Amino acid sequence: MKEKISQIIEESARSLGYLIYDFSIYLKGENTRINVKIDSMTGISHADCEKFSREVTERLEAEETLPNYSMEVSSPGIRRRVRNSDEFRRFFGAPVKIVCRSNGGSTVIKGRIGEATDTAVRIISEKEERAILFDTITSANLDY
């Protein structure tokens, strides 16, 4: 059942030109919940969320996949996680807060996103410019 719902979510996003940032499905019979965060290169509006929700609802009802469910559709938000090199490249110049492993502990680094390669990202702050290896990052969020 989850595979079919996932397929409908992915196909709906593709047909409408959205990206799936994240989604979860909690199958609980009458209390089934679907949470989807959609994205696009130009951002997501409330109207985009409504459009996507209608599309998924129509497809789920046509397939008679779920008898009853609730669905929440949203954007990743202004303080979204930045998860990989592609997203760091996409948000070049944006303010970011990164927590990374350092000397057995954690270090918080704030600055603007600079050049990103497949293995590291350059962060530019008022004090310094430094490269951070992706495999040391424990979390990264845009910091508007």
Domain at 69, CATH number: 3.30.70.1350
Model pLDDT, residue 112: 98
Check whether residue 66 and residue 124 sit in a common domain: no
Check whether residue 90 and residue 39 sit in a common domain: no
Q: What is the mean pLDDT of the chain?
A: 95
Check whether residue 18 and residue 47 sit in a common domain: yes
Check whether residue 17 and residue 62 sit in a common domain: yes
Dist CA 99 CA 109 (whole Å): 6
In this structure, is residue 128 part of a structural domain? Answer: yes
- Give 2-25 pLDDT, tens digit per residue: 999 999 999 999 999 999 999 999
- Give 24-48 pLDDT, tens digit per residue: 999 987 789 999 999 999 999 999 9
In this structure, is residue 79 part of a structural domain? Answer: no
User: Under a CB-based contact definition with an 8 Å cutoff, are residues 75 and 38 in contact?
Assistant: yes
Q: What integer is the mean pLDDT of 94-104?
A: 95
Check whether residue 67 and residue 128 sit in a common domain: no
Check whether residue 62 and residue 114 sit in a common domain: no
Structural domain range at position 70: 2-74
Check whether residue 101 and residue 132 sit in a common domain: yes
Least confident range of 1-5, 78-82, 95-99: 1-5
- Does residue 65 register a pLDDT over 80? no
In this structure, is residue 68 part of a structural domain? Answer: yes
Residue 86's φ and ψ, nearest 5 degrees, are -60, -40
- pLDDT-derived band at 1, boundaries 50, 70, 90: confident
In this structure, is residue 110 part of a structural domain? Answer: yes
- Does residue 106 register a pLDDT over 80? yes
**Into how many domains does the chain fold?**
2
Please give the full DSSP string across 82-119, using - where no structure is assigned. --SHHHHHHTTT-EEEEEEEETTEEEEEEEEEEEE-SS
* Chain centre to alpha carbon of residue 11: 17
Check whether residue 8 and residue 68 sit in a common domain: yes
Check whether residue 61 and residue 110 sit in a common domain: no
Model pLDDT, residue 31: 85
